[in-house]
Amino acid sequence: MTYVKHLPPLNRQFVAHFGEMGSRWGINRTVGQMYALIFLSPRPLNADEIAETLEFSRSNVSMGLKELQAWRLVKLSHQPGDRREYFEAPKDVWEIFRVLAEERRRREIEPTLSMLRMALLEEPGSEEERHAQQRMRDMHELIDRLMTWFDDVQRLAPETAMQLMGMGTAVTRVLEFKDRLTGKSGSGAAGKGG
């Protein structure tokens, strides 16, 4: 209980930062701070503890917890002999990243891809629409490739994904070497060599 009532300075700094960043990530400041508190907590927290620690109203905490549950960023649990609900963040940060990425995809990217698919089925009525449609086709192709790549990365074991990310420019050098071997120009992005 001491942890909850008296946040150490480092924890307070992290919670405040997450609140500020929340609006940039599509959640409000209150929800961002609540998530940061739950994420750092060594044990599950109930709504009263969250409200008391962050000095938020109980109703704001309840709404925030519902939003975090909708994003699948907190897990609900119960403790023996206690009727209150407790909340905790997944322990594995890779799992948190996956959930966030899947939710953002479902809420933001899929509707855009759907709109682009519908627009590409339309018959252009002018040169201006043909040009616009080609630009949309380029955008659709890029997003579609990124989502295919993302699906592949999602299937990797966390350790393998971390190794892949750690390779950085080594991957670029391998692709440039492959292009030299096959006679393609390595200057183009995404294999658009000559």
Q: Is the domain of 108 the same as that of 141?
A: yes
Residue 192, domain member (yes or no): no
**Of 63, 88, 113, which residue is a domain's last?**
88
Q: If you search the block for the tokens 């929800």, which residue do you land on?
A: 31
Residue 165 lies in a domain: no
Flag whether 96 is in a domain.
yes
Determine how many CB atoms are found less than 10 A away from the CB of residue 87: 24
Domain that holds residue 25: 2-88
Whether 108 is in a domain gets the answer yes
**Angle, helix 29-40 to helix 58-70, in steps of 10 degrees:** 80
Q: How many Å is the maximal CA-CA distance in the chain?
A: 71
Total count of domains within the chain: 2
Q: How far is CA 88 from CA 1, 33, 42, 150, 171, in A?
A: 15, 14, 9, 26, 37
Task: Assess whether 61 and 139 both reside in one domain.
Answer: no
Stretch 127-137: mean pLDDT: 97
The strands making up 82-88's β-sheet, listed across from edge to edge, are 45-46, 82-88, 75-79
CATH code, domain carrying 28: 1.10.10.10
- From 88, 121, 144, the end of a domain falls on 88
Average pLDDT for the chain: 87
Per-residue pLDDT tens for 22-58? 877 778 899 999 999 999 999 999 999 999 999 999 9
Angle between helices 29-40 and 47-54 (to 10 degrees): 110
pTM of the predicted structure, to 2 decimals = 0.70
Per residue in 165-194, pLDDT tens? 788 777 778 878 777 888 776 444 444 443
Say if 194 falls within a structural domain. Answer: no
